[in-house]
Amino acid sequence: MRASPVQGRNKDEKKALRHLESAAATEHVDALFLLGLLHVEGIGTRKNPGKGLEYLKQAAERGHVHATFSAADLVNRGAVIAASALLQRRDVKKHQDEILHWMDLAARHGDAKIKGDMNRLRPQVAGIFDRMNTPPAYRPREIKVCPQRKVCYVDRFSGARNSCHSYVDYWNDCNTSSR
C-alpha cells in the first residue's frame, strides 16, 4: 500500500482510515479489504494483525478474492510465527496449550508446505511437553555400604586366636549405615 503514493495530494492516513471504517460499516467489500490491510500494516493506526485478519475474513466471506489470499497468507505466517515465538520463550511449559493451538491452526489452514511441516513437528513438540509434564521417576536414595574389616589377634607362639573384631573402613567414600 505504501508503494504507490498519490502524487500531487497530501496523504492523511488517519482520515482515510475513518472513511474506510464508515464504508466498512455498510459492508463495502473493498473497504473491508483495505481496512484489513491498513490494520495489518499499521498504516494510519497501530499495527493490529488480529483486527486486520477479522476485516480480511469479512471481505473474503463476501467474495473478495484478494482478501481470501491475504487472510490465508496472514494465518500461515501468523500461526507459524506465533508458535515459534512461544517456543523460544523461557516459560514454554506455561504456554504449551497456546503453542499447540497455533500449530494446529497452521496445520489446518496452511498451505501444503506449512501443513507438512506442522504435521511433522507437532508430535515432536507434544512429546516434549509430555516429558516435561511427567513427574520424575522415583529412585530410592543410594546407600553405599562400607566394607567391614575383620581383625583378629593371634598368639604368635601357639597360633590361637585371642580375639577378633570388625571395624568400618572410614577411608572409603561411603555411608556408615548398612542394609
pLDDT of the residue at 78: 64
pLDDT of the residue at 112: 81
Crossing angle for the helix pair 65-87 and 29-41, to the nearest 10 degrees: 30
pLDDT of the residue at 40: 84
pLDDT of 161-173, one tens digit each? 777 777 666 665 5
Assess contact for 125 and 103: CB atoms under 8 A: yes
Return the closest-CA partner of residue 121 out of 139, 104, 97, 146.
104
**Alpha-carbon 27 to chain mean position:** 37
Residue 155: helix, strand or coil by DSSP?
A: coil
Return the closest-CA partner of residue 31 out of 39, 161, 9.
39
pLDDT of the residue at 2: 47
pLDDT of the residue at 31: 92
pLDDT of the residue at 5: 45
d(CA 15, CA 43): 11
d(CA 83, CA 124): 14
The residues of the chain scoring below 50 in pLDDT are 1-8, 176, 178-179
Assess contact for 52 and 36: CB atoms under 8 A: yes
Look up residue 153 and give its three cell numbers. 589377634
Domain limits of the chain?
13-133, 140-179
Give CA angle at 34 (28, 36), nearest 5°.
100
pLDDT of the residue at 155: 78
Assess contact for 73 and 36: CB atoms under 8 A: no
Return the closest-CA partner of residue 28 out of 58, 49, 48.
58
